[in-house]
A and B are shown apart, each in its own frame.
Chain A
Amino acid sequence: DIRMTQSPASLSASLGETVNIECLASEDIYSDLAWYQQKPGKSPQLLIYNANSLQNGVPSRFSGSGSGTQYSLKINSLQSEDVATYFCQQYNNYPRTFGGGTKLELK
């Protein structure tokens, strides 16, 4: 199974700040990576697919990058509505696997 290691596990940032979340795959996943945002009591929502493609309707302050085994999600100019838990997920191989999540809070 491909192991997805996310860091940090939790993060505290101020409004307007830039935030970076990292995701490390245990083997090359050839950019078959998605990022999701999940708010308490809600279903996950797709932010990014194919490592760097922005899902329709997602604000442009969200961006994804990376290749091979290393990927990152960047949030520019943090807004209060961005407080959530973020997950990465690989779809290069079965079983599909998720990172452990990054809980983002406001400082």
Chain B
Amino acid sequence: QIQLVQSGPELKKPGESVKISCKASGYTFTDYAMHWVKQVPGKGLKWMGWINTYTGKPTYADDFKGRFVFSLEASASTANLQISNLKNEDTANVFCARGGTTVAMDWFAYWGQGTLVTVSS
């Protein structure tokens, strides 16, 4: 069965970095886009961007340019999100979500379990 398994919760101090992984299984990793979505506890969903798992090209939403980096370990069917220079407002649950094979089919049928990133001094 198709699964996205994310790395565990993180507690970081402001200014530190964090790397979150999302390991996919049950399908051909490079056939589907991988998206990242942020959710502040108790709030709504915000799309962070996506990575083309075939070419490795990342695309970032405007609010996530600069400190955020999407990357792949395609041989391990894993997508990663690195956030540098963490700020208090980065405290959130971060999800990976599988997109479509084409932009026209880009709904999110599969989601990781979420990784809670807490930034506190």
Contact = CB atoms under 8 A, between A and B. Distances in A.
Kindly state the interface size class of chain B when it binds its partner.
20 to 34
B108 A36 contact: yes
Query: Which of B107, B108, B114 has the most chain A CB atoms closer than 10 A to its own CB?
Result: B107
Given A44-B45, A100-B44, A95 B61 contact: yes
A49 interface: yes
5 contacts: A43-B113, A87-B45, A91-B100, A91-B103, A95-B61
Nearest to A94: B59
Interface string A75-97: 00000000000010101001111
B76 interface: no
Interface residues of A, number: 21
Name the prevailing secondary structure of the B interface residues. Answer: mixed
Contact of B44 (A32, A49, A98): A98
Interface of B: 35, 44-47, 49-50, 59, 61-62, 95, 97, 100, 103-104, 106-109, 111-114
B5 to A, nearest CB: 12
